[in-house]
Amino acid sequence: MIDTLAVVGATGAVGRIIVELLVSRRFPAKRIRLLASARSAGRPMEVAGTRFEVEELRPESFAGVDVAIGSTPDEVAAEFVPWAVERGTVVVDESAFYRMNPGVPLVIPEVNPGAIAGHTGIIASPNCSTTQMVMVMKPLHDAARVRRVVVSTYQAVSGAGLAASQELRQATAGWLAGGAEPRQIFPHPIAANLIPQIGSPRPNGFTSEEMKMVLETRKILGDESIQVSATCIRVPVANGHSESILIETETKLSADKARHLLAGFPGVVVEDDLGAKHYPQPRTASGRDEVFVGRIREDISCPNGIALWCVSDNLRKGAATNAVQIAEYLATQTAARAGGGRTVPA
């Protein structure tokens, strides 16, 4: 049990889910505080019968706060995280700002929980697309060492925020009616379309989103030799990211062995029966915390390749759930150091 946990960015799409998870999972804190921008201050939020009042985010907001979960843009994280750390708060940060800082652990609790112990006040949660891919890679890497990954992502508009979700709804209605399609968030029409760019261009021809998958994967798995080639695509799906992945391992894995390893890994659910048309889909994964994997098969283009398809709710395991799991781990460790208290499963 800890005294106080704060959620920074509590009124955003991911922030709201974080609060819901804290309540539904009975997070072991005596007090939960919600922090957001000045325009949201004073706004009441009710979650599962629990009423909260949103407070304005200020430096002094972190006095007495043990753990903070931040779901904010990079520029906000760059400002508020030092305020919190200076006051003794441990921050679980969802932004990209600290992820590649060598002094900040980048954590998926099912994959590298031991990295949490090395924090100096900040723990980063990975990019949503990286998270679901690494969850699938981890058991195969442990068994046969992953050498190379080729991944194409099909990313839902919810990953671009509440306004993007609204744009999809309005644009789809406009497209179906043959009328105007609003375009404020995306550079091209999103209805009935695919946009093969997420993030800003990089000099090597990849985008910032694609390079996050490369660099974050290596850091989480602690293996700089893993080669990753990513193509990230925005698709007209409301929620839930999908990925087509080819994983090449050092030693051969059969499809049956890969299926067995994945089915036994915490947080991964195998849905893999092509004949019965049973495989992961974003509509059925939405609202769930697991990573779903199917279409598992031995690749016919390379001797040690496993091809598969995985889907996950990008707002949950890709963001909110992963951060809450890290905070639960911190609370568990605090209780253990105190000589007791409620333990929390990952």
* 310 has catalytic annotation: no
Q: Which of 128, 141, 232, 310 is catalytic?
A: 128
How far is the C-alpha of 68 from the C-alpha of 82, rounded, in Å?
A: 12
Q: Which of 119, 141, 232, 241 is catalytic?
A: 241
How far, rounded to the nearest angstrom, does the alpha carbon of residue 118 sit from its chain's CA centroid?
Answer: 21
2 forms beta bridges with 29
Contact 344, 327 (CB under 8 A): no
How far is the C-alpha of 209 from the C-alpha of 218, rounded, in Å?
A: 15
Contact 137, 148 (CB under 8 A): no
* 278 has catalytic annotation: no
Contact 45, 52 (CB under 8 A): yes
Contact 246, 299 (CB under 8 A): yes
How far is the C-alpha of 44 from the C-alpha of 55, rounded, in Å?
A: 10
Q: For residue 130, give the H/E element and its range.
A: helix 128-144
Active-site amino acid positions: 128, 241
